[in-house]
Copies of this chain bind each other. A is one copy, B any other.
Amino acid sequence: MTPALQPADWIAVDWGTSNLRAWSIGPAGEVLDHAQSDDGMGKLAPADFERALVGLVRPWLGEGVTQAIACGMVGARQGWIEAAYAKVPCPASGGTLTKAPTTDARLDVRIIPGVCQNAPADVMRGEETQIAGYLAQNPDFDGILCLPGTHSKWVHVSAQEIVSFRTFMTGEMFALLSNQSVLRHSVGGDGWDDDAFAEALDSSLSRPEALAGRLFGLRADQLLHQQTPDTARARLSGLLIGAELAAAKPYWLGQPVVLIGATGLAQRYATALRAQGVVPVIADGAALTLAGLTAAHSSLKAKAT
């Protein structure tokens, strides 16, 4: 890797609720350096953002003005400055970037807008950049992108545009139920049980109306039938992912599906989809964020010249 003291040609920034990540990009698009901190949007007031960013990227700044392109919750109403949503149908990276107010003359910061949908009401911030990254690498893709996570997204993409999407709170629900509800006594650890996951998934998909009655059963099965935490944990995951797949069926049924995210969670979604006869492609999410930021930078440069 090139020494970190070489100034950045531009800086890519992924700024979410919990973390700030930045890359120093060289003139040929190569990554010169990488840095991150826990200065997420969630704990910063608008006046704090510039200091947090400059503190992280100072070693990369040269003599002139360095361009930074940022995506994520940094552009929310409670962020640095609101980057108004683009509305579907729209290109994933087609929105107008919003210039963030700065006092340090060495930085010019532009924030990528999130994407919204009127009916049913939905929003995303950050995922649109991963989607743009995927489309930069696969310009002819027509189908469904699924981005599992705290708030999973199912996104219909066609002709380089986001056509429609839907958000599911599956990851947040799993965290709340397994850490903070009465089920926390029953689903501890990080073990797993493939059969229990498959059974629970099938149950939510084939009888979605029964889900509400199955959750407390995870506690009762432990008390009465010595169900292990591994089994309970896999069941809870299967029930919740199954409920998501049941609601998202119009997205994945008979469609080409790409799962974005190389984590264990994406593997669980892949297992779940395969059980429904869908064979998803898995793409690495972290690399796609950078690809999307790069696409936005290129497009900005093209407009400027």
Where the two chains meet, the residues of A that have a C-beta atom closer than 8 Å to any C-beta of B are: 77, 85, 116-118, 120-123, 151, 166-170, 172-173, 176-177, 180-183, 208-217, 219-221, 223-225, 240, 243-244, 246-249
7 pairs, CB–CB < 8 Å, chain A vs chain B: A116-B220, A123-B220, A168-B216, A173-B177, A209-B209, A212-B244, A212-B246
Given B183, B225, B247, which contacts A211 in the complex, CB threshold below 8 Å? B247
* Nearest neighbor of A219 in chain B, beta-carbon distance: B123
Residues of B within 8 A of A85 (CB): 224
Given B116, B219, B221, which contacts A224 in the complex, CB threshold below 8 Å? B116
Specify the main secondary structure of chain A where it touches its partner.
helix
A248–B169 contact, CB under 8 A? no
Q: With contacts A151-B182, A169-B182, A221-B121 known, is A247 near B116, CB below 8 A?
A: no
Nearest 4 CB-CB pairs, A to B?
A: A208-B209, A213-B247, A121-B220, A167-B216
* Nearest neighbor of A87 in chain B, beta-carbon distance: B224
Given B167, B180, B181, B210, which contacts A247 in the complex, CB threshold below 8 Å? B210
Residues of B within 8 A of A172 (CB): 181-182
* Nearest neighbor of A223 in chain B, beta-carbon distance: B123
A213–B166 contact, CB under 8 A? yes
Q: Complex Cα distance A221/B168, Å?
A: 14
Q: What is the count of identical protomers in the complex?
A: 2
Residues of B within 8 A of A219 (CB): 123
A123–B176 contact, CB under 8 A? no
Q: With contacts A180-B180, A182-B172, A209-B249 known, is A216 near B151, CB below 8 A?
A: yes
A120–B213 contact, CB under 8 A? yes
Q: Complex Cα distance A56/B122, Å?
A: 53
B118–A224 contact, CB under 8 A? yes
- Contacts A85-B224, A211-B243 aside, 5 further interface pairs with beta carbons under 8 A come to A116-B223, A167-B216, A170-B212, A209-B246, A212-B247
Residues of B within 8 A of A215 (CB): 168-169, 173
Q: With contacts A116-B224, A210-B247, A212-B243 known, is A217 near B176, CB below 8 A?
A: no
B167–A248 contact, CB under 8 A? no
Q: How far is the CB of A157 from chain B (nearest CB, A)?
A: 18
